[in-house]
Structure 1
Amino acid sequence: MAVWGIMLTAATLLEPMIMNEIRYVRPGNDFQTNVTFFRKIEVNGANDHPLYFYLKKSCPTTRDFFEPIARLIYSPLRNNDVRCNFEKFLIDRKGKPVKRYDASTRISDMRVDIESLLFPSVEFVYGSEAVAVRRRKRDWHELRNDTPDLNRPKYGGDLEKKFEIRFDLN
């Protein structure tokens, strides 16, 4: 799994972040992140980057409204534009966009979707939420003697919840 941080311009009049800001200012103290950061690109308007054109075309917007027009510094305005710098896109191993998340979505709320892509043959259960994916019998035979322990160490916050694993034998 990879997490990419792409610096956005042409979204609003927010001051664009420089690459060292995370390390020295937010949160500072020589913070090192595992996110791969890329150069700033335009994500909306006439000069939107082809990657974001593809992502926006593939996944519907999460908001039905725009910021006040005076704050937007690009044109033309399109319904599927990125509305905020912290919107997230989930992309599968083959590069196909799977889902778009609002800026207010916490990473822990994306967990079920992420793990269903990482472990497509496993059913993860969090309380009443479940993701069930069929498993071919051939794959089950490969795993039954070497079933990984996916109840891995806890990472804090909502991610500390233990989860149970169910294999679908159908």
Structure 2
Amino acid sequence: MSDLKIEGIRWALINENGWNFMIAATPKGLCYVGSQHAPYEQLEEWVKRYFPNRTLIQDEVGMQPYKAEISEYLQGKRQVFTLPYDYHGTSFQLAVWETLCNIPYGQTVSYSDIAHQIQKPAAVRAVGTAIGANPLLVTIPCHRVMGKNGALTGYRGGLEMKRQLLALEGLLHLTN
């Protein structure tokens, strides 16, 4: 018999002011923020892909610190997240995601800006791909990245979710 302990991935539902999405965490930190109104199966498939051999455990109480910060943001009461993260990716993806975390609340940048900040100015398409793989919507603010001409561009959570997040941050004029 194996002594290996299989860790679970705890998850909870955010249901706040019309927002409805799932979040998940490992013992190290938040690892997933889902798309608006996405089915449970989306979370289940993501866990199978990125955390194989882990089980999903619904834990509304244990996830409360994460829920609280995200809810405060959705209510317009928080601009910066302090919760721990547990995200995994290539070194390129990690560089992009860390750069996203430095985009101030209520501001936007372009994909090209991100490519320049990570010192890979020719990698604009790869930056877009890395942003699309961001597992932590909302908390790693990829919604703050726009097309070079200011156009609203792709978002894993869908363009409507991106519009709503930008509006929440006072940037609605950019989404018209």
Both structures adopt the same fold (TM-score exceeding 0.5):
no
Greater relative contact order (CA < 8 Å, ≥ 6 in sequence): 2
Q: Which structure has the highest helix share of the two?
A: 2
Larger Rg: 1
TM-score under structure 1 length normalisation:
0.23
